């Protein structure tokens, strides 16, 4: 069985309309830019596109959701990661000191009647950096998990059960449901997993979503691939993957990560299953605009 990984170096809306057929995707995992005017502080952020007017930004998210609905299969899922932002009286995004917190529930305006929101997962993490001591430190983001059908969608709880928090003879011996609050640390600066991107997903986070909502040989889509974590995890879990990324430096970074992942998979297979016949050949294909 051949698995393919395609990385398009282009705008995702343009690319999806051109290259992705209706009802061809099993699972979408993505994190659109937050539109928080991320400063071009270093190499990671110098080309980062994160500075639209709020109206234009919401318009893009609306178009994105329409495209995701078109390309996702009937039993598929769409996971969209967003976080709360602070707005001032003129409804402009500002820093926490000057604004009022607004969770991103406005995206439900674009999904209502078209998708079912199955969970609003809280991704809780920890970081060392400290902000001013005039409020609690924010330590979470949201994952909106949408399905196209109210029931009969892919979900494999047994693949992602966790160790129960308490000992109880009524506990399921297969493990506990991970619930809708997930503590998964961010990728730290000194971690081996750390990469060339300001908003890199930890592999563990993507792995839980992918194992829970897709099967081997399914097709995963990430329209904002960033550091490439979705594609790397897809490769490790034998899923096809299509990614879009507008920044060519980030694309090169994903290419490197995919080559490294291929190397370690090949080494593992050679030393553990030397006689395996149907080795999956999966080359990364990079398509430029």
Ligand X SMILES: C[S@@+](CC[C@H](N)C(=O)[O-])C[C@H]1O[C@@H](n2cnc3c(N)ncnc32)[C@H](O)[C@@H]1O
Measured between alpha carbons, how far is 27 from 154 in angstroms, rounded to an integer? 9
Q: By CB under 6 A, is residue 203 in contact with ligand X? A: no
First to last CA, the chain: 29
Taking the complex as a whole, the smallest distance from the CB of residue 144 to ligand X amounts, in Å, to 14
Q: Does 79 bind ligand X (CB under 6 A)?
A: no
For ligand X, which stretch binds (CB under 6 A), given 126-134, 173-181, 213-221, 239-247? 239-247
- Contact between 160 and 212 (Cβ < 8 Å): yes
Residue 125 CA to residue 139 CA, distance in Å, equals 6
Buried b / exposed e across 173-187, counting CB within 10 Å, b at 16+? eeeeeeeeebebebb
Binding to ligand X by residue 227, rule CB under 6 A?
yes
- Which one of the spans 18-26, 96-104, 132-140, 219-227 is the region binding ligand X (CB under 6 A)? 219-227
Q: Measured from the CB of residue 247, what is the shortest distance to ligand X in angstroms?
A: 4
Judged by beta carbon, residue 153 or residue 224, the one nearer ligand X is 224
DSSP 8-state class, residue 119: E
* Residues binding ligand X: number (CB under 6 A): 19
> C-alpha distances in angstroms, 179 versus 66, 71, 123, 221?
28, 28, 11, 24
* Phi, psi of 220, rounded to the nearest 5 degrees: -110, 145
The single residue among 44, 244, 258, 282 that binds ligand X, judged by CB under 6 A, is 244
- On whether the CB atoms of residues 81 and 123 are closer than 8 A, the answer is yes
Smallest gap, in angstroms, from Cβ of residue 1 to ligand X?
26
Site string for ligand X, 27-66 (x = CB under 6 A): ----x-x--------------xx-----------------
**Least separation in angstroms between CB 199 and ligand X:** 4
State yes or no: residue 207 binds ligand X (CB under 6 A): no
Closer Cβ to ligand X, 212 or 226, answer by number: 226
Tell me which residue of 51, 138, 119 sits closest to 81, measured CA to CA.
119
Q: Which residues bind ligand X (CB under 6 A)?
A: 11-12, 31, 33, 48-49, 197, 199-201, 224, 226-227, 229, 244-247, 250
């Amino acid at each position: 069985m051949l698995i393919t990984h395609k990385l398009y170096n282009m705008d995702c809306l343009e690319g999806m309309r051109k290259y992705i057929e209706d009802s061809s995707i099993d699972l979408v995992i993505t994190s659109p830019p937050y539109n928080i005017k991320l400063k071009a502080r270093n190499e990671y952020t110098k080309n980062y596109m994160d500075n639209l007017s709020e109206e234009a930004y919401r318009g893009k998210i609306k178009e994105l959701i329409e495209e995701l609905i078109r390309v996702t299969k009937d039993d598929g899922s769409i996971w969209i990661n967003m976080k709360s932002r602070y707005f001032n009286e003129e409804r402009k995004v500002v820093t926490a000191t000057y604004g009022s917190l607004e969770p991103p529930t406005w995206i439900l305006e674009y999904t209502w009647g078209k998708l079912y929101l199955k969970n609003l997962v809280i991704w809780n993490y920890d970081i060392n950096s400290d902000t001013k001591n005039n409020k609690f430190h924010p330590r979470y983001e949201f994952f909106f998990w949408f399905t196209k059908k109210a029931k009969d969608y892919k979900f494999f709880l047994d693949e992602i059960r966790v160790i129960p928090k308490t000992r109880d003879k009524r506990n399921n011996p297969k493990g506990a449901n991970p619930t809708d609050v997930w503590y998964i640390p961010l990728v730290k600066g000194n971690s081996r997993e750390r990469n060339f991107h300001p908003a890199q997903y930890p592999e563990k986070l993507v792995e839980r979503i992918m194992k829970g909502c897709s099967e081997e040989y399914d097709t995963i889509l990430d329209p904002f691939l960033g550091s490439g974590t979705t594609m790397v995890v897809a490769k490790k879990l034998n899923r096809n993957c299509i990614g879009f990324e507008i920044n060519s430096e980030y694309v090169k970074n994903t290419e490197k990560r995919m080559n490294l992942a291929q190397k370690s998979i090949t080494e593992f297979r050679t030393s553990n299953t030397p006689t395996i016949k149907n080795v999956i050949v999966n080359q990364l294909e990079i398509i430029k605009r």
